[in-house]
Amino acid sequence: MASLKEIKTRISSVDSTKKITSAMKMVASAKLRKAQKNIETFLPYEQKLNEMLNCFLSADKNVKSVYTEQRELNRIAIVAVSSNSSLCGAFNSTVIKKASQLIERYSQLLGKENVEVISVGKKITDAVKKMGFVNAENYDYLVDKPTYDDAVSFAEGLVTLFAEKKVDQIIFVYQHFKSTAVQQIVDETYLPLSLSLSEEKKETIEYILEPNREHILALLLPKVLRLKVYTILLDSIASEQAARTLAMQIATDNAEKLLEELTIQYNKGRQQAITNELLDIMGGQQ
């Protein structure tokens, strides 16, 4: 059985840990509120713009663009987004697992040399390095506080990669924020753009276009692609902070339970020690 001094040391250690996790939870909660506001404000705009684009493309199958070109799959790029730091539950491990599955699948299908992995975030970068993939540039700055200009620059690099036929498809892997308690891993095709509408959007809306369809699509397609990247980055940040808030809450609750158990154990030990001292005193008097 542990001595009273050892138990007291453990109580002090657990109490310090509880204070740290509680503070981290408060910080993550504050960051989550800001991130949640950003994604909830921006996502409907991006989705509506994307819906309009799909209506344009679906209404006229003759529209041709480098962004919608369906090519034979010879080379693919996988863009995976994680966080730069840990202590956020299964957030990073889920992204790494999904990215690893895609890398393995396309490596078998196309050959490892025809799979390009672009990692955004230190955790996924470290993971894919072990698989033999290294970024030409460092994109970790896109994770913590991405600006729209940063997202535009990154999106243009991806678009150029596809337009110059260096890859035939680009897939994003990231965590989608659904609620504080739920984050959903997503792998979706970024390029080429899909021409399909969801079932509830099957009715094509007749838009009045000025000056013409081609001019509007020439402006709209690049804008949608840039907005998509920025939305994904905001979505991932909100998911990360939600996962961290939940993880720190669980850690704090566990620390409280452990403190209760250790306090009971310490009190029992102290009571036993006092009882033994009293018995020794009484025995000495006899």
Quick: pLDDT tens for 271-282: 877 787 777 776
Quick: pLDDT tens for 6-19: 888 888 888 899 99
Angle at 185 between CA 200 and CA 105, to 5 degrees: 100
Quick check: 146 pLDDT over 90? no
Return the CA Rg of the chain: 27
Quick: pLDDT tens for 31-68: 889 888 888 888 888 888 877 777 766 666 566 778 88
User: What pLDDT was estimated at residue 276?
Assistant: 74
pTM score, whole prediction: 0.84
Say which range, 42-51, 145-154, 209-218, 267-276, has the weakest mean pLDDT: 209-218
Quick check: 180 pLDDT over 60? yes
Quick check: 140 pLDDT over 50? yes
Name the token pair of 161: 């990669």
Give the residue carrying structure tokens 């460092």: 138
Confidence at 155, pLDDT banded by 50, 70, 90: very high
Confidence at 196, pLDDT banded by 50, 70, 90: low
Q: Which whole number is the average pLDDT over 139-145? A: 88
> Of 2-6, 136-140, 206-210, where does the model show the most confidence?
136-140
3-state helix, strand, coil in the chain (%, to 5): 65, 10, 25
Contacts (Cβ under 8 Å, ≥6 apart) of 232: 81, 172, 174
Quick check: 90 pLDDT over 50? yes
User: What pLDDT was estimated at residue 105?
Assistant: 95
- Report whether 146 contacts 155 (CB < 8 A): no
Q: Compute, in degrees rounded to 10, the torsion defined by CA atoms 195, 142, 123, 170.
A: 20
The full set of domains in the chain, from first to last, is: 26-246 (3.40.1380.10)
208: alpha, beta or left? (left if phi > 0; alpha if psi -120 to 50): beta
Q: Compute, in degrees rounded to 10, the torsion defined by CA atoms 122, 128, 133, 137.
A: -10
Quick check: 266 pLDDT over 80? yes
Diameter over CA atoms, the chain: 111
Angle at 83 between CA 74 and CA 237, to 5 degrees: 100
Distances (CA, A) of 36 to 22, 84, 235, 237: 20, 19, 8, 9
89: alpha, beta or left? (left if phi > 0; alpha if psi -120 to 50): left
User: What pLDDT was estimated at residue 273?
Assistant: 75
Confidence at 191, pLDDT banded by 50, 70, 90: very high
Crossing angle of the two packed helices 91-110 and 213-285, in degrees rounded to 10: 130
The per-residue pLDDT of the chain, averaged, comes to 85
User: What pLDDT was estimated at residue 199?
Assistant: 47
